[in-house]
Amino acid sequence: MVVQRQASGRITWMDRGVLEQFRDGDALAVKAVYDEFGGAVYALSLSVIGDRDLAADSTQLTFLKAWRAASTYDPQREISPWLYAIARRTAIDIYRKRAREVVSEDIEIVSMPPGLDAAWEVFEVRAALDRLPDDERSIVKLSHLDGYSHAEIGDRLGIPIGTVKSRSHRAHQRLAEMLRHVVDT
């Protein structure tokens, strides 16, 4: 696995060989890309659409569209922005289609989804979270999503509070590094 730092400071983690295989339509590479970005695409889709079932459909469509368009992808570039663009467009289309169905087939809904502003951030943050080691990721989740204190996390995981603090510190350092381009925006 090759970790490369881009000029922007971003870190990309997909092996170039895998990305070349993806461009060539290799199903194994599609799985590798899904393993890396499936959670991020789903999180983005849910953020935009606000419905879990439709977000799942949108995720499926995103990867199939990406696979079909993969010959246009340049493996020398990061795949993340390219995949994000497909995911965002797909989620918007599904959101609008549902909005037309809910309101009226005769009314053209031109408004953008309310969750669209945060879509890119959600995508990037989730992709970064999925790159954390499991023991650090679980602590970040328990802390930020579930609202547990370090002491409570230590109790739940059966580890000393000092270990929780050190893992949490490392995790936030990694996240700050991976997400510098997001939080500095």
Partner 1 sequence: MSRENRLETLLGRPETWAEPPAEVETRILAGVAGSARPSISTPGPVRRRVWQVAAVISTVAAAVAMVFAFGLLGEDDADATVFTVSATGETPGLEGTASVGAAEAGWWIRLDVLGLPPAPSGSYYEGWVSNSTDTVSIGTFHMREAGGVALWSGVDLYEYQALFVTLQEEGGGHDPSDLVMLTSDFAGLQRGPGSD
Q: Which of 2, 85, 151, 176 binds partner 1 (CB under 8 A)?
A: 176
- Residue 12's alpha-carbon distances to 33, 36, 109, 131, 178, in angstroms, are 12, 11, 37, 10, 9
Helices (runs of H) and strands (runs of E) counted in the chain:
9, 2
Closer residue to partner 1 in complex, CB, 42/78: 42
**Hey, which residues between 86 and 125 contact partner 1 (CB under 8 A)?**
115, 118, 121-122, 125
Residues 57-86 that bind partner 1 (CB under 8 A): 59-61, 63-64, 67-68, 70-71
Tell me the one-letter amino acid at 26. D
Only one residue has tokens 């459909």, namely: 57
DSSP collapsed to 3 states, 117-173: CCHHHHHHHHHHHCCCCHHHHHHHHHHHHCCCCHHHHHHHHCCCHHHHHHHHHHHHH
Site for partner 1 in 23-42 (CB under 8 A): 24-28, 30-31, 34, 38-39, 41-42
| Contact residues: partner 1, CB under 8 A | 24-28, 30-31, 34, 38-39, 41-43, 46-47, 52, 55-56, 59-61, 63-64, 67-68, 70-71, 115, 118, 121-122, 125-126, 129, 140-141, 144-145, 172, 175-176, 179, 182-184
